[in-house]
Every structure is written in structure tokens, then in C-alpha cells.
Amino acid sequence: MRQIKFLVFLLVLLAGNAFPMFSQILVEAESFDQKGGWVVDQQFMDEMGSPFLLAHGLGVKVEKAVTTVSLKKAGKYRVWVRTKDWVAPFKATGAPGKFQLVINGTALPEVFGTKYAEWTWQDGGIVDIENGSVRLELQDLTGFEGRCDAVLLCDKLEFQPTNDWKELTLFRRKLLGTSKTRNSGYYDLVVVGGGIPGITSSLMAARKGLKVALIQDRPVVGGNNSSETRVWLNGAINVEPYPKLGNIVKELEQEKRGHYGDENKGELYEDNRKLALLANERNIDMYLNCRANEVIVKKKKISAVVAENILTGERNLISGALFVDCTGDGVIGYLAGADYEMSDSIMGKCNLWNISLTGNDTTFPKCPWALDLTTKAFPGRDSIPGSYGIKGEKALGGWYWESGFFRDPFKYNEWVRDWNFRAMYGAWDALKNVDHAYPKHKLDWSAYISGKRESRRLLGDLILNDQHLLSSTVFDDGLMATGWDMDVHIPHKDFKNYYPEDPFISYDLHTKYKIPFLLPYRILYSRNIDNLFMAGRDVSVTHQALGSVRVMRTGGLMGEVVGIAAYLCKKHNASPRDIYTIYLSDLKDEIINKLP
């Protein structure tokens, strides 16, 4: 009887075993020892499962990425590479993201990034590998956005890895040993998102004595106001009757600005200074390169988030009393089941870019897979202006090079970013190879991390709308001053007919109202998750009102108020809602009388 039970158990185990017992080595591309010119791209991992390496060379081959792995068993291995042909979703000609995998000095015959419109394991064939140290190299062939998620070596030659997202997640964690989470402690306030609102929330709360965790999925902070995205700060600070609100935002202000063209340099955004401000606060623990992608909820309260390291896959369980969603996309609220809204037509996202003068004659490859702009007008071509009449090279790649207006910002997240790439490459191809313009210029820089304007908006006890702004509604909890028109971006009428479903040039539609307007505290906390704040562009507003509150100084003010409110929550053992219903006078007193 005992033998029968064992055989039944063994058969069940084998039938349902997703991780067969043979030799497999999974190497995540983002974990390569030397990344060369490849960059780590994490912004789509919620949709496709993982960070990946991107060959973002602007048409110039990037330096190879290199790593070594230890192989205990020699023999024949089938090689799989998870990748995609990034222009295939557009049914475009060619496969610009080509690369090769080199194993111990020998390039596999298979060229990767050439076959699939979705993230898929591409078969690299069979190799004979000796045991010991094995050197892997990713060799970019084009400089045009090749992408590699992972490499799998398997000695069961007929084995094929899964492409199912959920199964693949379990497969990764099993092979990488990251199935368990590491308990990283308990905090008074857990801040998710390291943009301007996340920084100000963290600094204010820490300076009020709270123990703070700041989770940021990049190596830098600042969000859109970082060297990676390069958007300058706008909005009002230090406005009566709360002139001390904005002092922390003021600490983050960059000394110089460069708005357009190659004057918009990365060093202007002072990433290291922002990091130092946070690092110098003893009450803040920073979790850089960590993406919060799981939330634990108990009785309408978040008890913890799980933050996955984008380089190692290590998972940190970060517990807390209060949480603030500064992700911009409302990720934590969404995962927690918070009420939210998202419009069918939204403001798009940008990948800013610019060109620079080299002093030498330059060429650029033709890009038949890019948007065909050979006969089309666009800002920067001839005398066609961009925003505010800017012409010439500074009109190229500005904030109005924007797309995704009619696309779900999550389902089409990578798609929209790549559409922006195709617009950039199509424009530069037309200028260089059709107009023969800018003979001594090159593509100098392009953001591969997108600058977003709108997605989910988490709902609070009050939803601010455009009529509130236009009628100058006075709220008893009005605290944070606006300093920006209702600036809602829409497709530009002069260019939208080129690609009517996916226009790539925008227009800023400004609606005036009396400024400053004091935004109510009630837009800063969730109406159905009892310990969740939000600050930034995912607060409780309508699409139209978002046009005013989305700018980063205003988001920074929200963060400062959240930091103070979190302090009062701890002091009074209160909820974010209680700060309005019971302790609003205390909140105002803190802002007026107790801020430095």
C-alpha cells in the first residue's frame, strides 16, 4: 500500500511539474556583470514580466554586454533567448533590433530580435559546452533598440520554455531562487515612487520623525525631473496663506535650465544632489532599483508591499502603517483594489530627444521600419515651428513629440514608447536622407524612459473637476496652491491626419482660471483603502482638472502635505480621512506655525 501511494504521488508530481529535473541555467540579461552600452529597461515589467536590456544606440551599435556563468555539467545545450522584433507589432518592414549571442567566443548563427511581435523565447540552436566558466556576450548589430530579456541554457534538447506570463514568473523564481521574500522591516510610512512627490513626501515625513521607506524602480530619483527623462519643474510654491509649503520643493530646484535642443543636458537635473538629500536623512531607507509589484491588503488596509529588485530579482517585503502611491500610474492603489478612473482619451507620453553639432560630415542609415515622414511636415523641418514659435533644431524632440492619446497606457505601454522611437527615427531619416539637412549633426540623446502625463487617477473623498477651478471654489481643506493653467494636451490639428489613430505631435490646450487655487486635502487619500495616500498625477481629479495639477512643483506640494498628514496620523493613531474630519485644524497649524 505504501508503494502504491508513493507511485501515485510520483505520477502526480511528474504530471504537474512545471520545473523538470534536468540541467537548466537561466541568465537574466539585466543581471549581466558588464552591461556595456546596453541599458536596463524596467518600465514594462508589469506587462511583460521582467526588466530587460535595451541597445539604445540611436543608430550606432552599442558596446557588448558580458557575463560569466558556471556550468557544472558539460554537454549539448539548447539555447533560448527571450526577445522580440520590436517593429513587428506595427507590421513595419525590417527588423532593426538585431543582435547576436556569443558563447565562449563563438557567435550563434541565429540572429535574435527578428521573429516575433510579442515577447517570446527564440530558439538559438544547440551548442556543445564544456563545464566550468562560460562567457556570454550580447552583441548589438544595429544600435536600433534591440532588446534581450533572458538567456536559457537547457540540456534537455526538446524542452521549450513557457511564454505564459504567470507560468514564466514562477519559472524564473524557481531557477533564480527568488521564490521567497526577504522581510525588510516595518515603517511608519512607505513611499512608492521616487519622483518629486515621492521625494517631498519622504523628506517631510522623515523630518517630522517618521521612519520612512522610499521605493524607486530606477537608480536615480526625480522621475520626469531626472537626467533620464529631462522635464523641468513648473507650478507655484510658497504661496499665501501657506507660504512655507514649497520649501522642500525649493531644495530640489535645479540651478540652471535647458528646455529645448541639446541645451537640455542630463547634468542640469542634479541627480546626485537629489539622492544625497535623501541619503542624509537618517529616518529614510531607500530601496533603489526596486519595483513594487505586489500588495498585501487586510481589511481595507495595506499591510505590506513586495518590491522586486530589477537587477537581481530579489524580493523585499516592506511593511508599514501608512502608504503613499507616488507612482504616477496609481500602481499601488490599483493592486490594493482602490477605486480609480482612467479616461478613454488621455494625454500622451514623451520620449524627448535632441541633436548636436559634431564638426564633421555625418550620415544616418535609412529607416524603412520607422514612421514614413519623407513627404510630411513636422516641427523642426524647414521653417515649421514647435511650441511657442521655436524653429530649427530646437523644435526637434520637444515635449510636443507625444503619442498614446487613444491607447490603453498599460496594455500598449511599450507599444507607445516604441511609436515615439519610430517618430524620432523617421524624422531624422527624412531630414538626413531626403532633405540633406543638418549635414554635420547627429542624434545626440533620446529618453528611453518615457515621460508620462496621465493614466490611472485614484479616487478620494472628493474628486476635483474643472468647474471647481473655473468657479474658484473655496474648500475648507484647500492647502496646495496651483500655478498652472488647465493645460490638457491633444493631438495637433496640423499633423494628426498623418496617423489619425496614433498622432505623434501634440498641442497644449490651455484653459484659464484664477490662479492660485488651493487644492483640497481630500484629493490626497483613497476613499476605500483606509491607509493609502497618493501624491502626484494619480490623485483624485478628473481628466480636465489633471491638466492643472499634474505639473511637478504642484505634485511636490502634495507630497509635503502628505508627509505632515502622515505625521499626524501617527501622533493621533488616526487614518488619512481622520485628518480631514477630526484634525484639519492641526494640519493647518503644522503648515502655518511648525514648518521651518
What percent helix, strand, coil does the chain show, rounded to 5? Answer: 25, 30, 45
Can you give the pLDDT at residue 224?
97
pLDDT of residue 251 exceeding 50, the answer is yes
* Tens-place pLDDT, residues 146-191: 999 999 999 999 999 999 888 999 999 999 999 999 999 999 999 9
Q: 424 by DSSP, 3-state: which?
A: helix
- Residue 302 near residue 321 (C-beta atoms within 8 A): no
* Tens-place pLDDT, residues 180-236: 999 999 999 999 999 999 999 999 999 999 999 999 999 999 999 999 999 999 999
pLDDT of residue 461 exceeding 90, the answer is yes
Is beta strand 99-103 parallel, antiparallel or unpaired with respect to 290-298?
unpaired
Report the phi/psi class of residue 310: left, alpha or beta, with left for phi > 0 and alpha for psi in -120 to 50: alpha
Number of Cβ atoms within 10 Å of the Cβ of 368: 13
Can you give the pLDDT at residue 2?
33
The residue-averaged pLDDT of 557-565 equals 98
Can you give the pLDDT at residue 21?
60
Can you give the pLDDT at residue 17?
42
The distance between the two most distant Cα atoms of the chain, rounded to a whole number of Å, is 88
Give the CB-side neighbour count of residue 113, counting CA atoms within 13 A: 27
pLDDT of residue 18 exceeding 90, the answer is no
Domains defined for the chain, CATH in brackets: 22-160 (2.60.120.260), 181-344+453-482+517-593 (3.50.50.60), 349-446 (no CATH)
Q: 557 by DSSP, 3-state: which?
A: helix
Q: Which amino acid is at 557?
A: L
Question: Long-range CB contacts (< 8 A, 24+ apart) of 268-272?
Answer: 268/227, 268/230, 269/222, 269/225, 269/226, 269/227, 269/230, 271/220, 271/221, 271/222, 271/226, 271/227
CA distance 325 to 336: 11
pLDDT of residue 497 exceeding 70, the answer is yes
Residue 388's pLDDT band, with cuts at 50, 70 and 90, is confident
pLDDT of residue 286 exceeding 90, the answer is yes
Q: How far from chain centre, in Å, is Cα 74? A: 40
The residue-averaged pLDDT of 526-544 equals 98
Q: Calculate ∠ Cα 193-454-39, nearest 5°.
A: 55
- Across the chain, mean pLDDT equals 94
Can you give the pLDDT at residue 386?
84
Can you give the pLDDT at residue 15?
38
Can you give the pLDDT at residue 390?
87
Sign, CA dihedral 129-130-131-136, equals negative
Number of Cβ atoms within 10 Å of the Cβ of 64: 20
